Amino acid sequence: MGRMPKPIETPVPSRAELVDHLVRTRISGQVATPRENNLSHYRKLANGDRHYWLGLELGDRWADEQDVLAVMAERCGVVDDAAYRFGQDTIDPELTVSGLERMAARLRKAALDRQRVLLATGHPGGLLDVHRATAAALRAAGCEIVVIPSGLVADEGSVWQFADVAVLERGATLWHTHSPEPMAAILDGLTAEGRPQPDLVVADHGWAGCAAQRGLDAVGYADCNDPALFVGEAEGTLQVAVPLDDHVRDPRFYDPMVAYLLAAAGLL
């Protein structure tokens, strides 16, 4: 039997090299997301707009947008000055790498225990291959990558799986979505078929939030204008939220980050 191919061929950077790369490619550091967009999303979360809760149930615990800003400054690295209203905002690359290391620890456990893992993305233009490479590494390590039920629909689209990653499709296009409904459709579909729930969900946006809210182990990626997952991590609902710009100019920019993640997890 031939050996399994490596999931990726990118050299594994050192922590310092990765921090430099994240800043240079604007995955972290001075990111493209404007401050006014961030503050608007924090305000909408605080005002109870469920679109910005990403599938989590936050009640009235985060009704003060200054509390949301404080969490985002601590866990994502945005500017903590409430008077800073316009201009560029920031993601701390050290927090990005620390988040990757926490995610790697959970991936390592999944591999050691040969767990069932579901991967999904609401940001296919940026993160699809990040999740695909993770799925390939986990499969090579003996994990079961959950195959989603067929015929699922959500938000006027179809929920499919490409390269082991669940996505929402509409009109022959993979859809950018913050909605938790596609993940809800998958988890309900598994139950309807009498199949077990995943041991771990690796995702982003509402896909991660929905899984975490249902009590599943969930880790994910989140941008600085998506505060809900960081709030969920602060409350202990979501296990890990890795801060990054989730759609940079070239998806290949994420390759060194994925190499670092998988190496830290012992999956290369």
Whole-number Å distance between alpha carbons of 207 and 54: 8
pLDDT at position 56 is 98
Q: Give the predicted TM-score (pTM) of the model.
A: 0.95
Whole-number Å distance between alpha carbons of 129 and 237: 26
The kind and range of the H/E element at 153 are strand 153-154
In this prediction, the residues of the chain whose per-residue pLDDT falls under 50 are 1-8
Give the 3-state secondary structure of residue 171.
coil
**Are the C-beta atoms of residues 241 and 99 closer than 8 Å to each other?**
yes
pLDDT at position 41 is 98
pLDDT at position 10 is 87
**Are the C-beta atoms of residues 228 and 53 closer than 8 Å to each other?**
yes
Whole-number Å distance between alpha carbons of 139 and 125: 23
pLDDT at position 130 is 98
Per residue in 125-183, pLDDT (tens digit) is 999 999 999 999 999 999 999 999 999 999 999 999 999 999 999 999 999 999 999 99
Q: What ranges in the chain are assigned the alpha helix state H?
A: 15-24, 35-46, 65-75, 93-112, 124-140, 181-192, 205-213, 227-235, 255-264
